[in-house]
Amino acid sequence: MKGLEVDGERVLLVNLDDRIYAFADVCPHQKSRLSEGTLMNKTIRCARHHWEFDVTTGCGINPRNACLRMFPVKLDGEDVLVDVDHENPSRANAGGGTEK
């Protein structure tokens, strides 16, 4: 799990089971950086108030009604390309990670 900036957008990259997932690096609760949180199994946990999200979908676990903004990812050799301009609600992109 790593936070970085892509074209002025804070992005969280997660490599899980040889798939790369990309999200806006912000918790929907109080705008904390998710990159400061933890990754356990398939769950991202915000460091501030412990909100949890499913890495594979971006959907909330606790609370269930919160979702992360997910970005499409493409691998080009060793490069990870993240499309931060693409508007894509996480539920529509379930399983949208890219194999490594």
Query: End-to-end CA distance of the chain, in Å?
Result: 15
Over the stretch 37-74, which tens digit does the pLDDT of each residue have? Answer: 999 999 999 999 999 999 999 999 999 999 999 999 99
| pLDDT for 74 | 93
Give the sign of the dihedral formed by CA 96, CA 32, CA 78, CA 74: positive
pLDDT grade for 93, boundaries at 50, 70 and 90: very low
CA distance 50 to 80: 28
User: Could you check whether the bond before residue 63 is cis, i.e. omega within 30 degrees of 0?
Assistant: yes
In this predicted structure, the answer to whether residue 100 has a pLDDT above a threshold of 60 is no
| pLDDT for 87 | 61
Dihedral angle of Cα 94, 37, 45, 34, to the nearest 10 degrees: -40
In this predicted structure, the answer to whether residue 31 has a pLDDT above a threshold of 50 is yes
Q: Does the domain spanning 2-99 belong to CATH 2.102.10.10?
A: yes
Quote the tokens at residue 84.
Answer: 């931060």
